[in-house]
Amino acid sequence: MKSILERLDFWVSVIFIFSKQGLDDFAVGWQMYKGKSVPLYKTNLMKYYNLIIITLTVFFASCSSPEASEESTLGYYYFGDTLDVSSAVEINQIINEMKAGKDSVYATFSAPINSICQKKGCWMELDLGNEENALVRFKDYGFFVPMDATGEIAMVEGAMKIDTLDVDWLRHQASDAGKSDSVIASINTFEVSYSILATGVALEKKIMNEESIQLED
């Protein structure tokens, strides 16, 4: 599509240049350059036709801009299974289905990353909004995520359910997150929270630090 528009734009310009009006404009411009007087109507016509050419050029450029935008998109880094990001649903839709009685919901969705395991990147916590979080672990311990992606938006595919996180796990999670010994010791009760077993995660390439990415073998 882009190449067709470029060729059309080119031939419009060629036709104008070799048209009578194009040649007249060149003659008028040359006379003005030499300091000769030119009838007012001719200079107005030249301005009018130049405006048409500028308008056509802008029009054809704007027609090709969506394709250029697609080319400038950096895409995603995928961890685990490759996601179909176009199939993502709103996180509120998943939560509403669970509140309606479903034990678990398998879906693709996006949410900001609150924290990540700072030892391996073997889990992350997502902010679901309304002061609710979700712990994300990765199926079969088969992949990790970069440890410096906290605060970015993660696209996740997996099964969400309501889970009971025991004290041992919560202390382990706090330790992995780099919490102090006093904070870890203060954890003495279980927590009921959303939990996700993810089969794949996608992160936008523009947010990634290349050195932090652990590529799969």
**Cα dihedral: 18, 24, 28, 29 (round 10):** -10
Tokens coding 122? 């073997």
Across the range 147-168, mean pLDDT stands at: 93
Greatest alpha-carbon pair distance for the chain in Å reads 94
| Alpha-carbon span 155 to 160, nearest angstrom | 14
Instruction: Express each pLDDT in 10-62 by its tens digit.
Output: 554 545 444 555 545 555 554 555 555 545 445 454 554 555 555 555 454 44
Quote the percentage of the chain above a pLDDT of 70: 60
pLDDT at site 114: 94
Instruction: Express each pLDDT in 96-106 by its tens digit.
Output: 998 898 999 99
Dihedral over Cα of 24, 27, 32, 37: its sign:
negative
Q: Where are the domains of the chain?
A: 2-72, 76-209
Burial class (CB in 10 A: 0-12, 13-18, 19+), 28: middle
| Alpha-carbon span 195 to 124, nearest angstrom | 10
Q: End-to-end CA distance of the chain, in Å?
A: 38
- Tracing tokens 């016509």 back to the chain, one arrives at 45
- Backbone conformation region of residue 141, classed left if phi is above 0, alpha if psi is from -120 to 50, else beta: left
DSSP 207: G
User: Domain 76-209 maps to which CATH number in 1.10.540, 2.40.160, 2.40.50, 1.10.8?
Assistant: 2.40.50
**Going by DSSP bridges, is the β-strand pair 191-204/132-138 parallel, antiparallel, or unpaired?**
parallel
Q: Which of 64-78, 122-136, 173-187, 193-207 has the lowest mean pLDDT?
A: 64-78
**Cα dihedral: 137, 142, 146, 147 (round 10):** 50
